[in-house]
Amino acid sequence: MADPDDQRICLSRVRPLDGWPVLADPVLPIRTIAVVDTETEGLDPRLHNVIEIAVAFVEIDAHGRIVRVAGKGEALNDPGRPLTPQIQDLTGLTDAMLAGQRINVDHVTKRLNAVDVIVAHNCAHDRPFVEALLPDLQDKPWVCSVANADWSAWGFDGKKQDHLLMQAGLFNPIKHRALADVASLLSLLNVETPTGNSLLSECIAHAKRPTWLFRAVGLPFEYRQGIKDRGWRWNSNGRVWWTEVPHSARAAEEQWYDQAFRPFRDKPAIEQVTWTTRYKR
């Protein structure tokens, strides 16, 4: 006899952007967000280029509910050099597909400057690349569905988008193409959390809270394990240890740093971070 707790779960394909229903009872005010995804030829925006960008322009109501998908767009970009085999395998893009392709930078900049908020699944990657591609892009609030989501509290395991989709009962057969990833993210953000709010509204609420960024430069090597155990991260480009804590934890973090690294007396640099400045390189 089958265990009554056993279930067979059927995955549903993510909702196509063109077929998104219109919300019948939106609560004012209505805001426009841009859900963005990029494919790049590498991981460093100082050295590598965006090879594909996709954006969905989405209206949301006062509760963060999706009112409608107002538009979408995608474009390819020729980096001027061959893609590595790894990037071709990951993205499905080829040199032939990119040859002669150019992103209309002025058009994309104008559209993004008109939105209220930009959303991406990994803003730490996407924002520096988008701003390198679009130097005239205004500083906008950015919401990250990796860093600004409490996935474990909502019953999810891990943070990879495909894995999260499956746990939400969804799938997308198209992988690592920018517009497909945008559609996947929007479907994921529309999932209801145990609080009764959508994932999108929870992520926005979390992103709006200011935090404090700590940076420790020149910390002696013998303190490496202690700061690593504390959860700080190493930025090899800036050669700096860093962490970001909520406002309520600032004093405790300063006290811990002061006591943990005596007799080293250099104080960490501390600056407030908002959802407008967060993820800037």
Residue type, 201: S
Does residue 137 share a domain with residue 215? no
Is residue 168, in this structure, part of any structural domain at all?
yes
The pLDDT, as a whole number, for residue 183 is 97
In this structure, are strands 50-60 and 31-40 parallel, antiparallel, or unpaired?
A: antiparallel
CA distance 62 to 28: 6
pLDDT in tens, 87-101: 999 999 999 999 999
pLDDT in tens, 255-278: 999 999 988 889 999 999 999 999
pTM score: 0.92
Does residue 256 share a domain with residue 156? no
C-alpha separations of 6 from 9, 60, 225 in Å: 10, 37, 44
Domain count, the chain: 2
CA atoms lying within 13 Å on the CB side of residue 38: 27
Domain boundary residue, one of 166, 188, 207: 207
Does residue 223 share a domain with residue 116? no
Does residue 177 share a domain with residue 130? yes
Domain boundary residue, one of 207, 234, 259: 207
Question: Domain of 100: which CATH number?
Answer: 3.30.420.10
Is residue 278, in this structure, part of any structural domain at all?
no
The pLDDT, as a whole number, for residue 238 is 84
pLDDT in tens, 138-187: 999 999 999 999 999 999 999 999 999 999 999 999 877 899 999 999 99
Does residue 172 share a domain with residue 41? yes
Is residue 1, in this structure, part of any structural domain at all?
no
Does residue 261 share a domain with residue 139? no
Q: Which domain holds residue 222?
A: 211-273
C-alpha radius of gyration, the chain, whole number: 21
Question: Domain of 259: which CATH number?
Answer: 3.30.70
The pLDDT, as a whole number, for residue 3 is 62
Helix or strand holding residue 256 (H, E): helix 250-260
